[in-house]
Chains A and B, each alone.
Chain A
């Protein structure tokens, strides 16, 4: 793939992750006080929008190596689902509940989806036909 034809998936992905991290820090920094969830919800919503935008932009790329993307992203998704599950387990074990639990759980979902997207994208962007296929054509 020519880099110029690809959307800025990595940059947008990193911004999305940064927003999730900022929301998590905001909530964690105020424990055990009851603080407004609004900033964390806004950050989560913005992060989710960036994830959706990233996927939509990628879906419009002609000739993108989707087979390679999914081959890598599905295993990365499994790995990051396990990691997110471990962090969620710690939250639950600490008795976290209510709004903060919902926001942090959804943040973990965005994290567990977006990282595999970034890994799959970085691998697939450099995909090209194997030499044998070129010879055959």
Chain B
């Protein structure tokens, strides 16, 4: 048997006195069910936006989704990530169980809306075509998004789900949480850096 105490797992002999206090964790859902209708509503808006195929709704969805995605990546990578790395284990767990379940819903939704609406908008305006005079910048944006997608899908999202699953266990392993949180903070910083490139490209495309 083992109990979580601070940053290590302490073995406990059965009947050898009272066990150390277990780590307190707030109750949480890995995927917040209350947020699912909101996600469904946003995706329904996206379907309607693409079906209508008018510049304004597509622009709205692309800009709102992209701003959400960029700001969250920058904030997580450069503000929350370094703060989280310096927090005590209980404080980190408290923040993680309140923040990360929301990210499970927000980030895939924001990314899907940004990419699908952006692609449709690019087709509508002709900016995805080779004849567009800033085509090189558009291709650069594909590459930046592609790199971010591989990092986020291969490292960040699995680490997020894994740390939340670990925290749902009756006796979470702090070493596992530590390892996964390091991975999360590192990849969040990396995608934050990539988002700076996104901002450079998108402002260039907007300015012409």
Contact = CB atoms under 8 A, between A and B. Distances in A.
Interface in A9-30: 10, 13-14, 17-18, 21-22, 24-25, 28-30
Interface string B97-119: 00000000000100110011001
A81 to B, nearest CB: 12
Interface string A75-93: 1100100110011011001
Contacts of A131: 1-2, 170-171
Contact-residue size bin, chain A (C-beta under 8 Å from the other chain)? 35 or more
A4 interface: no
B43 interface: yes
Chain A contact residues, majority secondary structure: helix
Interface stretch (A38-46, A55-63, A116-124): A116-124
Contact of B119 (A32, A68, A94): A94
B130 to A, nearest CB: 6
A115 B157 CA distance: 9
A39 to B, nearest CB: 15
Contacts of A130: 169-171
A17 B129 contact: no
Nearest to A80: B108
A101 B179 CA distance: 40
Contacts of A30: 130
B161 to A, nearest CB: 5
A58 to B, nearest CB: 14
B166 A126 contact: yes
A123 B155 CA distance: 12
B188 interface: no
Name the residue among B108, B129, B162 with the largest chain A CB count within 10 angstroms.
B162
A72 interface: yes
Contacts of B169: 130
A4 to B, nearest CB: 14
B159 interface: yes
B41 interface: no
Interface string B25-56: 00000010000000000010011001101000
6 contacts: A13-B154, A21-B150, A79-B108, A122-B158, A123-B158, A126-B162
Interchain residue pairs A-B with the least CB separation, the first 6 = A122-B158, A14-B154, A21-B146, A122-B162, A90-B116, A119-B158
Interface of A: 10, 13-14, 17-18, 21-22, 24-25, 28-33, 68, 72, 75-76, 79, 82-83, 86-87, 89-90, 93-94, 111, 115, 118-119, 121-123, 126, 128, 130-132, 134-135
